[in-house]
Amino acid sequence: MSNNIFEQAFSAEDFRKQGHALIDMLADYLSDTNSNKQEQGLAIPWQAPEKQLDYWQQDFARRPLHDPLALFKETMARSVKVHHRRYLGHQTLPTLPLSVLSTAVTTMLNQGMGVYEMGMVGNTLEKVLTEHLAGVLGFGAEASGFITSGGSLGNLTALLAARAVATGIWSKGYKDQPQPAVLISEEMHYCIDRSVRMMGFGSEGIIKVPVNERFQLRTELLEEYYQQALADGKQVIAVVGCAGTTSTGSYDDLEAIAAFCQQHQLWFHIDGAHGAPAAFSPQYKHLVKGIEKADSVVVDFHKMMLTPSLSTAVIFKRGSDAYRTFSQRAQYLWSEQDSEEWYNGGKRSFECTKAMTSLNVYTIFRTYGDEIFKENIERLYGLAKIFADLICNNKNLELAYEPEANIVCFRHKTEKDSSRFNAAIRQQLLEEGHFYIVQTILNGELYLRVSLMNPLTSEKELKDLLEEVEKKAADLMKKDI
H-run or E-run covering 467? helix 459-477
Edge-to-edge strand ranges of the sheet holding 438-442: 397-399, 407-412, 445-451, 438-442
Confidence of residue 301 (pLDDT cuts 50, 70, 90): very high
What is the pLDDT, as a whole number, of residue 1? 47
Rounded CA-CA distance 113/118 in Å is 6
Helix (H) or strand (E) holding 464, with range, is helix 459-477
pLDDT above 70 covers a percentage of the chain that reads 93
328 pLDDT higher than 70? no
Between residues 41 and 289, the one the model is more confident about: 289
**Measured distance CA(6)–CA(27) in Å, rounded:** 30
Among 218-227, 269-278, 350-359, the range scoring the smallest mean pLDDT is 350-359
pLDDT confidence bin for 189, thresholds 50/70/90:
confident
| Domains with residue ranges and CATH for the chain | 106-368 (3.40.640.10), 371-477 (3.90.1150.10)
Query: Which of 216, 351, 378, 358 has its CA nearest to residue 282?
Result: 378
Distance of CA 222 to the CA centre of its chain: 27
Of residues 160, 40, 126, the one with CA closest to residue 461: 40
For 69-107, the pLDDT digits (tens) are 999 999 999 999 999 999 999 999 999 999 999 999 999
Position 329 pLDDT exceeds 60: no
Is the pLDDT at 293 greater than 50, yes or no? Answer: yes
Could you tell me what percent of the chain has a pLDDT over 90? 75
Regarding pTM above 0.85, the answer is yes
Q: Is-contact 361 300, C-beta < 8 A?
A: no
Residue 18: what pLDDT? 95
108-166 tens-digit pLDDT: 999 888 788 888 998 999 999 999 999 999 999 999 999 998 888 899 999 999 998 88
Q: How confident is the model at residue 327 (pLDDT cuts 50, 70, 90)?
A: low
Positive or negative, the CA dihedral 15, 18, 20, 26 is negative
Predicted confidence (pLDDT) at residue 190 exceeds the cutoff of 70: yes
Instruction: Give, in order, the Cα–Cα distances in Å from 457 to each of 88, 387, 464.
Output: 9, 11, 12
> CB under 8 Å to 233, separation ≥6 — which residues?
178, 179
